[in-house]
Chain A
């Protein structure tokens, strides 16, 4: 019983780094110095990469992720842990991205990269990465969001249902639709790319 970790005395001996998410969230809610930085260092990357794939560029992605962390910090004293912290964060990031209609076309980047490397053609990896971004950009934002939560971030169907506030049946059918859309768009764009070159 003595080993119960209290959020208040976590910071002094550097146990924040090894604390689990729930303890860290509680410490953050009590404004324990360093707790928010630790949360930030754990979730900075997933938040930015999810936003990046949603928005199509790093600048907008970091703006969204920053806003998401500010909201997390403000709302964390009221966070009751109904869902896991990560699901909650993904929900905030996704909503911010869906609310922002600024996604820029990935085609610009594709052209920009192809041009200067005319002599040695871009590696297959690079081409595929650009094609992936293009396909994502062409998808409906709602389909893009569910696809990223599942196939990039690896959320379970239940977690996606919590993050997007959707019934499980809708998660199942929308994900199937999203994957089919990705597959069809990929085929279409890669065929048109081959015709051009």
Chain B
């Protein structure tokens, strides 16, 4: 069956991408072969079928907005540029002032002199001695 050989060329033939001599041979075959003619028509119909679907696609109305948000709005529109140009130094100045205030606050709230020793827990405050209770009196273990 010679059709198989020709069928492989139909796609390129359809796009005019087949070398002239092969195209002429295929031309001659197509005149005598209804099968290959039908195949060629079918292959040629694919584009129409694909476009019938793609023409129905409705892009969401907020698609551009989403893209522009993803890209970074100021990059695209440019209108925020002047705002940004003085926004950055302002942020730096604010951070610097905050750091200064922190330093000053730390300086004035720092305890003066050597740090006080940790206050020892007052036993009486923790375990008040209840008269008559059978709690043994706390003793320093090393004193025994």
Contact = CB atoms under 8 A, between A and B. Distances in A.
B58 to A, nearest CB: 8
Interface residues of A, number: 44
Interface stretch (A13-21, A66-74, A80-88, A96-104): A66-74
Contacts of B70: 66, 69-70
Nearest to B78: A33
A45 B59 contact: yes
Interface in B41-75: 42-43, 46-47, 49-54, 56-60, 63-64, 66-68, 70-71, 75
16 contacts: A33-B76, A48-B59, A52-B54, A52-B57, A53-B53, A62-B60, A66-B66, A73-B71, A128-B52, A129-B52, A148-B50, A151-B47, A152-B50, A172-B17, A175-B12, A183-B39
Contacts, number: 111
A197 interface: no
Interface string A125-143: 1001100110010000000
A29 B27 CA distance: 49
B75 to A, nearest CB: 6
A33 B77 contact: yes
B75 A129 contact: no
A157 B17 contact: yes
Contact of B54 (A31, A66, A70, A152): A152
Contacts of A157: 15, 17
A37 B68 contact: yes
Nearest to A151: B47
A58 interface: yes
Q: Which of B46, B68, B79 has the most CB of A within 10 A?
A: B46
Given A175-B11, A183-B46, A41 B53 contact: no
B10 interface: yes
Contacts of A50: 54
Q: Taking chain B's interface residues, is the majority helix, strand, or loop, or is none over half, making it mixed?
A: helix
Given A33-B79, A40-B67, A70-B70, A152 B51 contact: yes
A58 B49 contact: no
Contact of A176 (B11, B59, B79): B11
Interface string A27-60: 0000111101100110011001110110000100
A45 B77 CA distance: 21
A105 interface: no
A73 B75 CA distance: 10
Q: Which of B42, B67, B78 has the most CB of A within 10 A?
A: B67
Contacts of B118: none
Nearest to B9: A176
A129 B56 contact: yes
A133 B57 CA distance: 12
The 4 closest A-B CB pairs, nearest first, are: A33-B78, A176-B11, A151-B47, A49-B54
A182 interface: yes
B63 A128 contact: no
B63 A65 contact: yes
Nearest to A126: B56
B75 A44 contact: no
